[in-house]
Chain A
Amino acid sequence: MIEGPLKGLLPAASIRRKLVVGVAFVHLLLMTFFVFDLVHRQRDFLWDELTQRTLHHAEVLAISASSWVLSDDLAGMEEVVEGSSRGSDVRYALLTDPGGRILAHTDRDKIGLYLTDKISLDAISGARQARVYHQDVNSVHAIAPIIVADHLIGWSMLSVDKVATTAHLAYVTRTGILYTLAAIAIGTLFAVLLARSILGQLRYLLAGVDNLQNNILDIPVPVVSNDEVGRVAKAFNRAVASLAESRAQLTSEIAERRRVESSLRALSQRQVSLIEDERKRIARDLHDELGQALSGMQFCLKSLQAQEGMSQHDDTCTKLTGQVERMGVAIHRIANDLRPATLDHLGLIPAIKAFVADQQPFVGDSVQINFDAAGFKRRLPPEVEMIAYRIVQEGLSNAIKHAHARQVDILLTVNHPALIVTIRDDGIGFDAAEQTRNGSSAFAGIGLLGMQERAGTIGGKVEIKARKEHGTVLRAELPYAEEHANGDAHTDC
């Protein structure tokens, strides 16, 4: 509730200032109301008390004087009047007969005179009851009838000074203001001390938060109080300690995971390498062993066909020669699939060009395959080239077999320290999000996992962006180390 007004009074003020001003303001407000109310109540009470006292005084005077008035005993009346004015703030007291003739007066010179002013005459001609017949800021005037046996035999009139009451009210007001100031001073002092007590701990907490922001978790916040803020500081320390422990554990787990990942990557890399080596060996063996054997067979068949007397076996030899040639071609193709020799000898770009060229006869004119490369200045590390080749091989196969693409664009870009492989097709695409939600094996089907696994062996990654009926974009980022890139330079890369 106080926040609102304080916000207006103290925009962007500190807690200390808000607290001090708030307490002072509350004290001022409450004490002002209190003193204001007190003074008013006191004034009403004193005025009422003075009025009642004056009235009572007049009544007592009337009763006391009745016997003297009945007896027309002026001396007795004078004694009564003097007695009524003794030791009080009575300005004057007088007794009159019903016609306003002064029978007794505190000023003896007035005895025997008549009241002549309208206020007094109205008073003695008014109701036969005690009443305050006039009141001004400095005096109260009361009148009481002197009645015996239901007969009005005179009036007592009395005036009392208000000066003492007014002075008392001024004193009460001054005292009230002093109390207000004292309350504000004490409240403010208390607020300052309270703010110091609370904010001291808060300052430590703020320093702790700064440390936390700076990842300094080994310096606890000093706990200097046992109040709620102190408990917050203790809780903060516990939280920071817990955080430090969790972070240490997490760091350890991350290190372990990295180590494991590194091992897995190494293992995977080694596996891929072994596979590639094995494929390379098989391809070489196919080429060297079976290729030599088939060449020998083909030579023998041609020699046998050229011998005389073997004309009856000419057709047979021709057929065998043809079969051997086809076997040679098949072996060459299988060997090339297992490990394109072009990749090892000429580099990535010629290998991919050759692969694209090899695919063209199978797809005919229905699919247009475009290949482009940029940024190649030297050959990339063999494992990078091999992985890039396999990704292109898999990606192009997917575009042709699954995406039913009519155009496939292959782009290789060297953007040190990574090789970016992009394969974009205009095929049927797919909803990648839906595939992911449904746990579909489409990714597996397109060999994404294999590609990612291969890329992962060198710290790379493969992403696929696809939309249904809007084609597919495969993007692989394959990092490579500079020292590897400084390897064999090859003009054809």
Chain B
Amino acid sequence: MPLAVIRRFFLAAFVWFLLDSTGFIAWQAAGQAGAESATQNAAALLARAKEVMGLRAWASLLFITTPSPQRSRTTNRIALTRLFFRP
């Protein structure tokens, strides 16, 4: 294999490594900044989770699981097949 091809290969690999490292560092920095701003208050996070999941005091939730032969093999999961909000 010509030496020029090998050089190009390693040069491309080095450039890819630099770009990937830069992206990873930026991603980590963004994650840390987001963590500090978004997780100041656990109660606020839980309140937000309640909101996005539609958890209201006036509603009752009904889950129905239909007969599932796979259930015995996946004992740590329950298939929620239907969800009703009932005022």
The answer to whether A and B assemble together is no
Binding site for B on A (CB under 8 A): none
